[in-house]
Chain A
Amino acid sequence: ILNVEQSPQSLHVQEGDSTNFTCSFPSSNFYALHWYRWETAKSPEALFVMTLNGDEKKKGRISATLNTKEGYSYLYIKGSQPEDSATYLCAFNRDYQLIWGAGTKLIIKP
């Protein structure tokens, strides 16, 4: 993998259900993996920055895990709520930049 790949591209989840999605990135020369939440017509908001293999981060109902050896990260949302509807972006560091995935668009159905 040369860039960031996120799957699925979009996801419809019933309110109250839990869900997860994947970010794959190059495992060589890894420095940090970032997750962002991006609501329509707003700015992306940082959720997590993870640097160590095996890292797990949690913020409320949202959590993320990191596997740097195989180059993937999972984002989990427990008990989805309508306000969780957004595009979730992941990115990894390269030089002074972040290399971004295309995002997973999450739609919560009431």
Chain B
Amino acid sequence: SQTIHQWPATLVQPVGSPLSLECTVEGTSNPNLYWYRQAAGRGLQLLFYSVGIGQISSEVPQNLSASRPQDRQFILSSKKLLLSDSGFYLCAWSEGRVYEQFFGPGTRLTVL
């Protein structure tokens, strides 16, 4: 069966510091991968998605970036965090044409 891992679970970072969140999927090959964010009191916002190694589509222009160095690894990064980057970050994967998405446990990021 497939599983998805995210780490860390929680993170507190000062403004201006870098960020690296990692997501890995097990039990499947060539999944579609997604990064979402939920800001306080808001809904689910798609940040990036990837349909293959090295292929990244950005949905929202901002100071975040994503990379997919391996088939089942998806990384969300920032060189300098802003206060507005605080939120709950979710990684998800899908496969097949229906694209039902399965979510990781999430990372709670607080930027101070």
Contacts and interface: CB of A to CB of B under 8 A. Distances in A.
Interface string B78-99: 0000000000101000100111
Given A96-B51, A100-B43, A102-B43, A49 B103 contact: no
Contacts of A46: 100-102
Interface residue tally of chain B, by bracket? 20 to 34
Contacts of B51: 96
A44 B32 contact: no
A31 B90 contact: no
B46 interface: yes
B87 to A, nearest CB: 12
A43 B43 contact: no
Interface in A35-82: 38, 41-46, 49, 51
A32 interface: yes
Contact of A96 (B32, B44, B100, B105): B32
B99 A96 contact: yes
B97 A34 contact: no
Nearest to B105: A43
A102 B39 CA distance: 12
Interface in A89-110: 89, 93, 96-98, 100-103
Contacts of A98: 94, 99, 101
Contact of B106 (A43, A89, A93, A100): A43
12 contacts: A31-B98, A34-B100, A34-B101, A41-B108, A45-B103, A46-B102, A96-B32, A96-B49, A96-B94, A96-B99, A97-B46, A97-B49
Interface of A: 31-32, 34, 38, 41-46, 49, 51, 89, 93, 96-98, 100-103
Given A43-B106, A97-B34, A100-B44, 6 more contacts: A32-B99, A38-B44, A44-B44, A44-B103, A49-B98, A93-B99
